[in-house]
């Protein structure tokens, strides 16, 4: 097992990894930017090194600065968390060449699954269900038109290098298709320096359901149920839950086995997530694989009673997974709400600043994954998420009641947060019925006022 891990991240996920390390008897080393010098997680880590100024490009994204700290601290492994360098194949390669384990999949799996067109091809080869669409990249407007005519409108044009909803255009007719095709290519060229795109049938008002996967280097592959992340705004998830109100035990098994089929075909190891869209009839279609631990992993931990960060570290160290598929049973219901320092009434504008007072809910079935404390100033340079509030109960109904209770106890003074919106969601009749899709927040909940 590793004796020391460097955490190439900040905030709540850095703290989550520190906690796993401590329970495993592994020393934790944080790297931080000048903007984070007062980060409360740094006091809990065993060591901390400042690696540069506030902008991520000169600190959390600067591979040479991180590797210098890794050398000085003499670590065995690097955990990238989520965001930043977590899905950067080059970084994984640099770690490999430096003799430091990258706590994530091998660089080739990151490369294949990180390119949406390549991931689509891998899914086709593995026999994973997809929406009708192109086998290869679409090189001309004429080709796009021919494909759209053969699969029927509406269609979606997606950047191969995109992901998380960037570089996409929906088209309901030929004129929109040609415009969308050119726009998607131009946007992708700027955003990703790669203008390749592909075309797929567009599924309207889908649910977003993702399968948590974990694999070791001994050929053990396990899925830890699904998460429903349909409540999003502009591709930013707000609420996640497990199990999905739309998924039966039979469908869970089918989706889980499908996800693992793809993972096996890529020789995938450590933690990963296969994203699917689910239609009203209960058909599921593969979208993409996230080759990192995700923000919402704790909802899966709660319903499967696993420690995914621990399992991820064990897998990266070459150990066997601490559980098998037979051990993983989905029980109870978990909900997570993301508490962001944002002004919901003003377009979710980030509201960094000083937390003047803080009272955190507790009691039965509550988990609070956060790095904040009273007196802490949230720097303006990074993500606005200040913590994740999770509840766990026997049923979905009880979990919603528990979340309302927990939110009512919460006191975060000095900044605006998404707590009032979450209270609204927890009292929403459609959410209570489990009847929401990926357009619900924008089209219904925010519009209703
Ligand atoms: C789609 C789609 C409908 N049809 N693909 C957005 C993020 C990326 N993971 C895939 N995305 C979508 N792809 C087809 N063929 C709708 C979306 C989508 C979406 C997906 C999940 C969660 C929220 C979303 C919001 C808008 C669009």
Query: Taking the domains of the chain in order of start, what are their residue ranges?
Result: 4-103, 132-201, 207-448
Radius of gyration of the chain (CA): 21
287 and 277 Cβ atoms separated by less than 8 Å: yes
Tell me the whole-structure pTM to 2 decimals: 0.97
**Using CA positions, which residue lies closest to atom 6 of ligand 1?**
165
Structure tokens at 95: 């770690």
342, β-bridge pairs: 350
Average pLDDT over residues 386-400: 98
The residues near 97 (Cβ < 8 Å, ≥ 6 apart) are none
Question: Is the confidence at residue 449, as pLDDT, over 60?
Answer: no
Positions annotated as catalytic residues are: 292
* Alpha helix segments (H runs only) across 25-60: 40-44
Residue range 372-391, pLDDT digits in tens: 999 999 999 999 999 999 99
Residue range 204-238, pLDDT digits in tens: 999 999 999 999 999 999 999 999 999 999 999 99
Residue range 28-80, pLDDT digits in tens: 999 999 999 999 999 999 999 999 999 999 999 999 999 999 999 999 999 99
Q: Ligand 1 pocket by C-beta < 6 Å: which residues?
A: 131, 156, 164-165, 200-203, 206, 208, 232, 235, 275, 277, 287-288, 438
The number of the ligand 1 atom at minimal distance from the alpha carbon of 438 is 23
**Using CA positions, which residue lies closest to atom 23 of ligand 1?**
438
Average pLDDT over residues 83-103: 98
Domain 132-201 = CATH 3.40.640.10: no
Q: How far apart are CA 252 and CA 278, in angstroms?
A: 12
Please give the share of the chain, as a percent, with pLDDT higher than 70: 100
Q: How far apart are CA 54 and CA 379, in angstroms?
A: 9
**Candidate from 153, 206, 228, 442 with most ligand 1 atoms within 8 A of CB, to mutate:** 206
Question: Is the confidence at residue 448, as pLDDT, over 70?
Answer: no
Q: How confident is the model at residue 447 (pLDDT cuts 50, 70, 90)?
A: confident
Question: Is the confidence at residue 397, as pLDDT, over 90?
Answer: yes
Residue range 267-303, pLDDT digits in tens: 999 999 999 999 999 999 999 999 999 999 999 999 9
Q: How confident is the model at residue 442 (pLDDT cuts 50, 70, 90)?
A: confident
Q: How far apart are CA 286 and CA 203, in angstroms?
A: 12
Structure confidence at residue 167 (pLDDT): 85
Q: How far apart are CA 360 and CA 411, in angstroms?
A: 7
Is the peptide bond prior to 154 cis by the omega test (within 30 degrees of 0)?
A: yes
Q: How far apart are CA 427 and CA 52, in angstroms?
A: 44
Q: How far apart are CA 383 and CA 379, in angstroms?
A: 9
Structure confidence at residue 60 (pLDDT): 98
Domain 207-448 = CATH 3.30.420.40: no
The number of the ligand 1 atom at minimal distance from the alpha carbon of 204 is 3
Residue range 299-323, pLDDT digits in tens: 999 999 999 999 999 999 999 999 9
**Candidate from 164, 208, 289 with most ligand 1 atoms within 8 A of CB, to mutate:** 208
Average pLDDT over residues 362-367: 98
Computed over every residue of the chain, the mean pLDDT equals 96
Question: Is the confidence at residue 85, as pLDDT, over 80?
Answer: yes
Q: Which among 9, 12, 4 has a CA at the least distance from the CA of 371?
A: 12
Tell me the CA–centroid distance for residue 307 and ligand 1, in Å: 29
Residue with the two structure tokens 């490009």? 57
Q: How far apart are CA 13 and CA 10, in angstroms?
A: 6
Tell me the CA–centroid distance for residue 294 and ligand 1, in Å: 17
The residues near 228 (Cβ < 8 Å, ≥ 6 apart) are 207, 208, 209, 240, 241, 242, 243, 244, 245, 246, 247
Q: How far is CA 321 from the centre of its chain?
A: 21
Residue range 170-196, pLDDT digits in tens: 999 999 999 999 999 999 999 999 999
Q: How far apart are CA 396 and CA 331, in angstroms?
A: 11
Extended beta strands in 216-362, E state:
221-233, 236-242, 270-278, 284-290, 333-340, 342-343, 349-350, 353-354, 357-359
Half-sphere exposure of 383 (CA within 13 A, CB side): 19
CATH class of segment(s) 4-103: alpha beta
Does 132-201 match 4-103 at the fold level? Answer: no
Q: What are the C-alpha distances in Å from 182 to residues 56, 142, 186, 200, 314?
A: 31, 12, 6, 16, 45
**Candidate from 123, 168, 275 with most ligand 1 atoms within 8 A of CB, to mutate:** 168
Question: Is the confidence at residue 413, as pLDDT, over 70?
Answer: yes
The number of the ligand 1 atom at minimal distance from the alpha carbon of 133 is 15
């Amino acid at each position: 097992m590793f004796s020391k891990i460097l955490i190439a991240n900040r905030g709540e996920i850095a703290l989550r990894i520190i906690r796993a390390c401590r329970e495993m008897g592994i020393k934790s080393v944080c790297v931080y930017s000048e903007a984070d010098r007062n980060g409360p997680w740094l006091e809990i880590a065993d060591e901390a090194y400042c690696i540069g100024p506030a902008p991520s490009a000169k600190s959390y994204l600067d591979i040479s600065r991180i590797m210098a700290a890794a050398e000085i601290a003499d670590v065995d492994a690097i955990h990238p968390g989520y965001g930043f360098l977590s899905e950067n194949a080059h970084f994984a390669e640099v770690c490999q060449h430096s003799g430091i384990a990258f706590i994530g999949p091998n660089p080739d799996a990151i490369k294949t699954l990180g390119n949406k067109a390549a991931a689509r091809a891998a899914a086709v080869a593995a026999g994973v269900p997809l929406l009708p669409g192109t086998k290869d990249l679409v090189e001309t407007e004429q080709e796009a038109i021919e494909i759209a005519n053969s699969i029927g409108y509406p269609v979606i044009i997606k950047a191969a290098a995109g992901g998380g909803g960037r570089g996409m255009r929906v088209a309901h007719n030929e004129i929109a298709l040609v415009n969308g095709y050119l726009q998607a290519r131009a946007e992708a060229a700027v955003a990703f320096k790669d203008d390749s795109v592909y075309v797929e049938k567009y599924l309207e008002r889908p649910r977003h359901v993702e399968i948590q996967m974990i694999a070791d280097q001994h050929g053990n592959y396990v899925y830890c149920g699904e998460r429903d992340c349909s409540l999003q705004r502009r591709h930013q998830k707000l609420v996640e839950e497990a199990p999905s109100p739309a998924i039966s035990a039979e469908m869970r098994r089918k989706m889980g086995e499908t996800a693992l089929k793809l993972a096996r075909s890529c020789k995938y190891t450590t933690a990963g997530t296969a994203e699917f869209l689910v239609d009203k009839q209960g058909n599921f279609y593969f979208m993409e694989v996230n080759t990192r631990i995700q923000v919402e992993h704790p909802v899966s931990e709660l319903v499967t009673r696993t420690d995914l960060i621990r399992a991820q570290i064990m897998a990266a160290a070459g150990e066997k997974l601490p559980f098998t598929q037979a051990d993983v049973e989905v029980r109870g219901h978990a909900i997570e709400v993301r508490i962001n320092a944002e002004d919901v009434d003003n377009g979710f504008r980030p509201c960094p600043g000083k937390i003047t007072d803080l009272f955190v809910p507790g009691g039965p079935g509550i988990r609070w994954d956060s790095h904040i404390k009273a007196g802490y100033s949230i720097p303006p340079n990074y993500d606005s998420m200040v913590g994740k509030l999770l509840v766990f109960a026997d049923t979905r109904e009880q979990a919603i009641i528990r979340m309302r209770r927990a939110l009512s106890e919460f006191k975060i003074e000095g900044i605006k947060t998404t707590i009032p919106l979450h209270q609204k969601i927890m009292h929403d009749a459609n959410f209570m019925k489990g009847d929401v899709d990926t357009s619900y927040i924008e089209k219904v909940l925010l519009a209703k006022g």
